[in-house]
Amino acid sequence: MNEGKTVGVIGAGSFGAAISNLLGENQKVLLYDRKKEAVDAMNRDRKLKGYALHPNVTATNSIEEITSNCYLIFPVVPSQSFKEMIIDFSPFLRPDHLMIHATKGLHCDFDLDTADPKDLKLKDIKTMSELILQETGIVRVGCMAGPNLAAEIMDKQPAATVIASRFDEVVREGQAALRSERFQVYGNRDILGIELAGVLKNYVAIASGALNGLGYGENTKALLITRGMAEMVYIGKSLGADKRSFLGIAGIGDLIATCSSPKSRNFTVGYRIAKGDDLKTILSELGEVAEGIRTLKIGKLIVEHTGAVAPLLQTIHKVLFEGLELERAVKLLMRYYVDADGEYLDN
Amino acid sequence: MTGRNYQSHDYPLPYVIEDIHQWPIYKLSEDETAFVAEVKAESREKLKSRFATDKELREEIARVLYLERIRLAEKPWKADPKDEYQFWNGIKSKYLKLAQVNDRPEGLSEDELLDEILDRYLNEIVGNFDVRAFGFARAILPQFFGRIFAAAPGKWFKTIGGNVKTLHEKIPITGDIDKIRHLATKGTIVVVPTHFSNMDSIMIGWLLNELGLPAFTYGAGLNLFGIGMLSFFMSRLGAYKVDRRKKNSFYLEALKNYSTIALQRGAHSIFFPGGTRSRSGALETKLKLGLLGTAVEAQKLHFRNYPEELAPRIYVVPCIINYHFVLEAEGLINDYLKETGKEKFLRENDEYSTSVKLVRFMLKFLSASSSLSVSFGDVMDVVGNKVDEEGNSFNHLGQKIDVKRYFVTNGELKDDEQRDGEYTHILGERIVENYHRYNVVLTSQLVCFTVFEMLKKKYADVDIFSLLRTPVEDISLPYDEVVQTISRVKEKLKLMYDEGEVLISPELRWNVDKIIDHGMKNINLYHTTSPLLKNGDTMGTENLKLLYYYHNRLQGYGLEKEI
């Protein structure tokens, strides 16, 4: 137990709950949610999303309570609402706050549905850590990513994550706060690589769900995962990330978990598409956001801008938004010219 | 916009601290013995914690010894002390005795060798400040430098003994001088200039004096101390010696602590963060952060040693010096091309090895030079936040920032080298941004840039090295096209100026014919082969490498698109 220490969590979704409970094992936790009723309910029922909250976790709707009590804060907010959240917090944040976000999504400063790739500048697309740096006076920023399905963490199954930051101190502080007998925490300095790994795996997971929905088995899935990772490496490198980041827990690790788990929202989207459901219906029924949809749209813009090789991304985009039939998409991909294996490790 | 236009000051401005004996650098010099002892103690402590056991320290001594013997054999300099071999041989024989752990002589220890080496280094590094030498330099330098700012070339000899004051008024300095002057009385100023010429350090030292600031200390290349006259002045005007050949841990630790503690004692300092002069002629984009890191370290120590409100502050001010031509251009660009051509061994440049060469260099500089411009960028704290008149920091969002908090974790001030290294990195990025934003584009640079880019486009199928080997007789561009293209680049620069992305010299508002004339006149003044040539209705060059060198100054602005 880290005596006298309190850490903050922003965002009371299922992953926010999971992180709060992990953190609760080591210290006191303040969990922020905007809505007063939700906060009162959490504190009264000691429950969130059907899971029991750790006794060390207290919910609050006061930004100031979090920022004045916690030097270490974990935002876990969907990428869509991240900017709004961070702007609300900004006046209360100072350079001695450390922030480790766990949001696996990208931000963009333009309307995703109408943007023309020709008008796009890469600086309009931001990772969450870049958004934090832009909108606050915080400098010591990190991210956490890995195969961390909320439900399994709530079940207290063994798992691991990666914390990445330019600052070793952020990694150390994050490890001290999160580590436990059932939760390993690795460190990495390539924050961009780890953020991208967490983000890009989303669309591969959609593809995995779709293949599963078509009734394909393990051979196809293994092919998808390996080539999906190759594609993530290409896109990552085109943006300046280190390829090694994609070969660790947050890259291939997270990819295997999300591509195999029917519990993942992105997987579910793909699965139901294969079963003939309509995208709008699926999204409205899912309730929580599937980051994969945004990732696909932003990813397509990035790829068209940087020229990174990404046939998988392009094809899934066509299936979801341009009316390409799924079976035909699979055929197209299987016809794609392939050469050497493992080539993505070359420079 | 504050600080973006030339301010009409009556230079030299009165000193912000009238009594020279109250200047930090004077006090530092008066207290030299204690100062050096403090530097030594600090370096010793840090090295001893890094090499914690006798065995580790012994192995490090062996490494230092090894590196020093290579240096002695491969890169001897005139400035090296006569007894250099003797000294290191002495250390070697002591080390050999030390290495026989079970049979070492009484009293001989790793610590003793560490002390001996540190004493040697610090004795070499330490600089001095002598009021009389300063007074002499102050009387003499305006005679030299006043000339440089006079508009028309060739009048140097008339200037000597002439009316110096009117020349002072002509110094084209951009920047918030009043703020810098005020903050120099409240905290410690670190000026970080661009580095294109060996004249830079003398030039900047003189300029800061014109601004009425107390004398600055700065690290000067040890090789320059091999020149009698220069050495005499530099070692009395606050310069300390930096030997870029010595890259061993003991030396670097001593040098860093020297700078850190000088800053802590309030000595205003100049760091050339580019390390050496820009070889390519381009503005620095990657900085050597070693000495810059000492500013971060000194600020952190202030927060540690003083109660909250009283902690002295360190302010970083980028400075961009812009010459129409650089005397060493030819040698520099050749070095650069060799370097990029992957030539393995680069000769350590030592072009001013004698007083005669130096005097010749100075005379050329003074008799040939035309106007130049100097601009100061944003005054920043050590993490790169802008600072207001009163020294308060504001982040990019305009939020007032308490700098101490950068060094605090969970309510406590913490030491963390890696963290501070990242802060230095961030500061370096801000400095580079400032170099580009406050760079004053001169006519000669605009013309060289445009002409070379047009050539690159014309010879798009060859690489840069082949292009540079093209016979100059074959190089020719229609004058009209050059005019049109310059006009486009110029308009773009004006837009960028309005956006605050760059500064432009007043001449850039002239019409293009006049710009070309002005640029050519200034740049061709010195070089025996002209970088720019006009033959009737075509333009060419006599020296492609020089053209390339001056063109490089405008790289990084995305101006290529206008060609």
What does the pLDDT look like over B196-251, one tens digit per residue? 887 787 778 888 988 999 999 988 888 777 776 677 777 778 889 889 889 999 99
* Binary contact (A95, B422; C-beta < 8 A): no
Q: Which residues of B touch A (CB under 8 A)?
A: 383, 395-397, 399, 401-403, 405-406, 408-411, 414, 416, 418-419, 422-423, 426
Based on the domain organization, do B168 and B179 belong to the same domain?
yes
Residue B222 lies inside a defined structural domain of this protein: no
pLDDT at residue B158 in the model: 40
pLDDT at residue B155 in the model: 40
Based on the domain organization, do B514 and B388 belong to the same domain?
no
Q: Which residue has the higher pLDDT, A306 or B8?
A: A306
What is the count of structural domains for chain B?
A: 2
The whole-chain average pLDDT of chain A stands at 92
Based on the domain organization, do B408 and B475 belong to the same domain?
no
Domain boundary among B437, B459, B489: B437
B361-402 per-position pLDDT tens digit: 666 666 554 567 889 999 999 999 999 999 999 999 999 999
Of B77-86, B147-156, B330-339, B404-413, give the range with the top mean pLDDT.
B404-413
pLDDT at residue A264 in the model: 82
* Binary contact (B422, A167; C-beta < 8 A): yes
Residue B204 lies inside a defined structural domain of this protein: yes
Residue B259 lies inside a defined structural domain of this protein: no
Based on the domain organization, do B544 and B473 belong to the same domain?
yes
Confidence of residue A59 (pLDDT cuts 50, 70, 90): very high
At position A8, the amino acid (one-letter code) is G
Decide if A201 is catalytic. Answer: yes
Q: How far is B427 from chain A (nearest CA, A)?
A: 12
| Segment among A10-19, A265-274, B116-125, B283-292 with least mean pLDDT | B283-292
Q: Which of B397, B405, B410 sits opposite A95 (nearest CB)?
A: B405
Phi, psi for A226 (deg, rounded to 5):
-65, -45
Based on the domain organization, do B336 and B445 belong to the same domain?
no
Domain boundary among B388, B412, B437: B437
Phi, psi for A144 (deg, rounded to 5):
-125, 140
Residue of A nearest to B420 (CA): A167
Rounded mean pLDDT, B523-535: 84
Rounded mean pLDDT, A63-90: 96
Position of tokens 């540190």? B118
* Binary contact (B402, A94; C-beta < 8 A): yes
Residue B124 lies inside a defined structural domain of this protein: no
Based on the domain organization, do B433 and B466 belong to the same domain?
no
Residue B55 lies inside a defined structural domain of this protein: no
B463-499 per-position pLDDT tens digit: 888 888 888 888 899 999 999 999 999 999 999 999 9
Residue B263 has pLDDT above 50, yes or no: yes
Per-domain boundaries in chain A: 6-189, 193-345
Confidence of residue B12 (pLDDT cuts 50, 70, 90): confident
Find, among B525, B336, B560, B327, the residue nearest to B444 by Cα. B525
Other C-beta atoms closer than 10 Å to the C-beta of A340 total: 7
Based on the domain organization, do B197 and B277 belong to the same domain?
yes
Q: If phi over 0 gives left and psi between -120 and 50 gives alpha, with beta otherwise, what is residue B107?
A: left
Residues of chain B with pLDDT > 70: what percent? Answer: 86
Residues of chain B with pLDDT > 90: what percent? Answer: 54
Domain boundary among B437, B467, B482: B437
Q: Which of A134, A137, A167 sits opposite B419 (nearest CB)?
A: A167
Class level of CATH domain A6-189: alpha beta
Q: Which residue has the higher pLDDT, B373 or A225?
A: A225
User: Cβ contacts (< 8 Å) between A94 and chain B: which residues?
Assistant: 401-402, 405
Q: What is the DSSP string of A20-52?
A: HHHHHTTSEEEEE-S-HHHHHHHHHH-EETTEE
Residue B45 lies inside a defined structural domain of this protein: no
Based on the domain organization, do B366 and B487 belong to the same domain?
no
pLDDT at residue B166 in the model: 42
Q: How far is A98 from chain B (nearest CA, A)?
A: 8
Element containing residue A320 per DSSP (H, E): helix A311-321
Integer CA distances (angstroms), B447 to A19, A101, A187, B111, B327, in order = 60, 49, 50, 60, 19
Q: Which of B401, B408, B426 sits opposite A137 (nearest CB)?
A: B401
Residue B9 lies inside a defined structural domain of this protein: no
Determine which one of A28, A201, A237, A243 is catalytic: A201
Residue B168 has pLDDT above 50, yes or no: no
Based on the domain organization, do B461 and B341 belong to the same domain?
no
Cis bond before residue B12 (omega within 30° of 0)? yes
Q: Where in the sequence is the domain holding B540, given as residue range(s)? A: 440-562
Phi, psi for A278 (deg, rounded to 5):
-90, 140
Rounded mean pLDDT, B260-289: 85
User: Cβ contacts (< 8 Å) between A140 and chain B: which residues?
Assistant: 419
The topology (CATH level 3) of A193-345 is N-(1-d-carboxylethyl)-l-norvaline Dehydrogenase; domain 2 (1.10.1040)
Who contacts A181 (Cβ-Cβ below 8 Å, separation ≥6)?
none
pLDDT at residue B161 in the model: 39
Contacts within 8 Å (CB) and 24+ apart, B300-309:
B300/B407, B300/B413, B300/B415, B300/B420, B301/B260, B301/B264, B302/B264, B303/B403, B303/B404, B303/B407, B303/B413, B304/B413, B308/B404
Rounded mean pLDDT, A289-299: 85
Position of tokens 């101390």? B225
Based on the domain organization, do B358 and B211 belong to the same domain?
yes
Rounded to two decimals, the ipTM of the complex is 0.91
Residue B5 has pLDDT above 70, yes or no: no
Based on the domain organization, do B453 and B526 belong to the same domain?
yes
Based on the domain organization, do B433 and B312 belong to the same domain?
yes
B415-424 per-position pLDDT tens digit: 999 999 999 9
The pTM (predicted TM-score) of the whole model is: 0.90
Residue B408 lies inside a defined structural domain of this protein: yes
Who contacts B282 (Cβ-Cβ below 8 Å, separation ≥6)?
B552, B553, B555, B556
